[in-house]
Structure 1
Amino acid sequence: MTDEVAPEPELGLRERKKRATRRRISDIATGLFTMRGFDNVTIADVARAADVSVNTVFNYFGTKEDLFFDRQDELVEGVAGELRRRRPGESVVALFRRRFIESLDENAYPTGFHEGSEIWAKTVMDSAALMAKQEEFGRSSRRRLAEALAEETGADPDDITPRVVAAMVHAAQWELVGDIVGRKMAGQTLHEMRDTVYANAHRVFDLLERGIGDYAVKPPDTGARDAASGK
């Protein structure tokens, strides 16, 4: 029997409208934050620019920082989903290597390998509140990955291994992204840094592979194997 991930239910019109409103408010807020600086923009400024009430903004976002990091909760929770959906025979290191390289190919924003990442990074670094929030999300991401690894491997509650592996994987990706953003802030173009960025990613994951490469390998897909053999 194979592990199957149930497709997400299709969203109704009301939910789609709510998500669109949330994204629009966040996009407008992010534009204001990057232009003026996070600490120089109020919730009232965001509400006025988005043509909604202050209460409406708070209906969608608990804090001002959440307006800027509007997809972080989704990314944190997505870590567990990525692990569950890894390919048969794929270790946790192989999974995150593959996903990081794919994200570079797509110029996905979590990697920093996209136009404007230096503007985003400067906005964060110029605000103590955003720096603190970013650190909080980092801790949440490590903790969620450790929990998912413990669930996948059946680790005992006092087993430190899932926490160590999660910390190593998170640290590797954090340093890779930091290097990319640092290069952007120094004036390099995506084209100029491309070869180095990919080489660094493979080098870092090679290091992880040699240390924890056989940890959390998903069992073979016995259902597919039995079907192929006619059992």
Structure 2
Amino acid sequence: MGLREMKKQQTRQNISHQATRLFMRHGFDQVTIADVAAAAQVAKMTVTNYFPRKEDLALDLHEVFVALLARTVAEREPGESALAALRRGFLQAVAKHDAVIGFSGPGFARMIVESPALVARLREFHEEREDALAAVLATETGKGPDDVLPRIVAAQLGGVHRVLFQETLRRTLNGETHDEIATALAESARTAFDLLEPSLSGYAVRPPSSPG
């Protein structure tokens, strides 16, 4: 990373950090872009250049979140189905208490659920993530972009992740620790993926690597 790129990343991180601090202290809807700019000691335009939408200041993992399922499927192992790859990836994320799947802490979780704008934006994230997953599934199974099957499968797999994300927030707001949430979430995830196993265990299986 060059010096210019590093300075941009530092500026972005500072803006995000100051925004999160203000949102958690005052509530998302009470803080303006101007407030964030003042706290980060940058121009208001600088904030909007890095974060075109105010909601993305709070939900800073947008790109990672949206790409997660599609990337997991695209990088699955030879002989592994899309379902198996997503099961493995989710359980690994649970073990790491990964913020991308909802391990955010009570203050952050409360900030989200108390703001209709953030709840709506998060819903858009889930929809974008399903679309990205459907596109990868279509490519991996040789289907066209308008084929309905990859979209149906993406809706099923995305729906599991959506419900589990909401469950993580719910348990967080109920005061459970990360370890308690992880234990319950892993059990729920196994149950959910097991339900999909009969229909999806043979879907989008990556062919074994050719020898040599």
TM-score bucket (shorter structure): over 0.9
Unaligned runs of 5+ in 1: 1-10
AA matched with 2:125: F
8 A contact 2:78–2:208 mirrored in 1: yes
8 A contact 2:68–2:129 mirrored in 1: no
Within 5 A, what are the aligned runs for 1:1-231? 11-113=1-103, 116=105, 118-222=106-210, 226-227=211-212
Deviation string 1:107-157 (CA, Å, 9 cap, x unpaired) is 11022235x1x3222212221211221111111111111011101111134
Aligned Cα root-mean-square deviation (Å): 1.6
* Structure with the greater alpha carbon radius of gyration: 1
Q: What is the distance in 2 between the residues matched to 1:94 and 1:125?
A: 31
Which region of structure 1 is more displaced relative to structure 2, 201-210 or 32-41? 201-210
Deviation string 1:17-63 (CA, Å, 9 cap, x unpaired) is 21121111111101111111111001111011111111111121112
8 A contact 2:91–2:186 mirrored in 1: yes
AA matched with 2:89: R
Determine helix, strand or coil for the equivalent of 2:103. coil
Distance 1:94 1:184, change over 3 A: same
Percent identity, aligned pairs only, is: 42
Determine helix, strand or coil for the equivalent of 2:129. helix
Unaligned runs of 5+ in 2: none
* Superposition misfits of 4+ residues, deviation over 6 angstroms: none
1:78 to partner: Cα distance: 4.0
The alignment covers a number of residue pairs equal to: 212
TM-score (norm 2): 0.93
Determine helix, strand or coil for the equivalent of 2:153. helix
